[in-house]
Amino acid sequence: MRERCLRNSLCVLALLASGCRGEPAPSVAPATSFSASQPATAAAPPAPIASAPPSAAVAANSATPAPSVLASPAGSAAPASVGEAEEPALLAADGSALPQTEARPSATDERFRRRMQRVADAIRSGDPQKAHASFFPLVAYAQVKDVAKPERDYRYRLLSNFERDVREYRKALGRDAEHAELVGVDVPEARVEWMKPGKEGNRLGYFRVLRSRLRFRLQDGKERSFELTSLISWRGEWYVVHLHGFE
C-alpha cells in the first residue's frame, strides 16, 4: 500500500511539472521612472542556459519581470572597463554566443542605471564611444535580425545613426552641456511589448519599449528631456537601439 501511494504521488508531481508556459504578456504597468538620486534595486544575473545556434527558438527562462544584463557592442569576451566587467558575459566559455532568453528587463536596477549614465555621459561630452557598451550588442544583433549581412547593417546604419544622434543631443544641450546632470529616465512600462519572431524582420523574440525619456538638469536649474526612441531586450537586459527616431 505504501509503495502504491508513493507511485501515485510521483505521477501527480510529474503531471504538474509538465504544464506549458505561455508567451510573455505585455505589461499594463505605469511608466517606471528612476531618479539619479534614488537607490537602485538589487538585481540577480540570469540563470545560465545552454548555448544554441542563432536560428534556434528563444530559450525558455521566465515570463515574469526578471533583471539580468550586457557586454560590448562587438560582443567581445574581455570587457573594456571596470563597469563593463560587472556585466554578465554574452559569450559562453567556448566562445559561442549565448542565446536569447524570455527574461523581462528591469528599468530600475543598477545595471540599467549604469547604462543610462553612459548614454548621458556620451551626450554631455559629444563622444558616442562612451555609450557603446549601452548599445545593443553586435553578437545579439547577428542572432536577432534576419538580414544578409548583419555586421555591415549594424556598423554602417544602426550604430552610425546612434552616434549621429548623440552628437545632435549634445548640441541641443547647449554650450554648458558638459555640466548638465542626468536626473532621471522615464520608461513607459505600459508600452513594453514582446515582439514575436517575424514582426520586425527578427528571427528571435525580444521585449521592446518605445519613447522613453532622458531628463537632464542644466546649470541654470532648467530641465531638458530627450527621447530615447527604442530599447530592446537581450538576455533580460535593456539596450539602446534607436536614440532619436527610426532609420
127-132 CB contacts, 8 Å cutoff, 24+ apart: 127/166, 128/162, 128/163, 128/166, 128/167, 131/162, 131/166, 131/240, 132/72, 132/73, 132/159
Residue type for position 119: V
Tens digit of each residue's pLDDT (9 = 90 or more) over 138-188: 999 999 988 888 999 999 999 999 999 999 999 999 999 999 999 999 999
Average model confidence (pLDDT) for the chain? 77
pTM above threshold 0.95:
no
Burial class (CB in 10 A: 0-12, 13-18, 19+), 189: middle
pLDDT for position 146: 85
Share of the chain above pLDDT 70, in %: 65
Share of the chain above pLDDT 90, in %: 58
The domain ranges of the chain are 32-37+64-242
pLDDT for position 17: 42
Of residues 39 and 68, more confidence is placed in 39
Give the residue among 154, 110, 113, 123 at the shortest CA–CA distance from 136: 154
Tens digit of each residue's pLDDT (9 = 90 or more) over 54-92: 333 333 333 333 332 323 333 333 334 444 447 778 999
Cβ contact 192:63 at 8 Å = no
Give the residue among 243, 213, 173 at the shortest CA–CA distance from 35: 213
Rounded CA-CA distance 120/231 in Å is 15
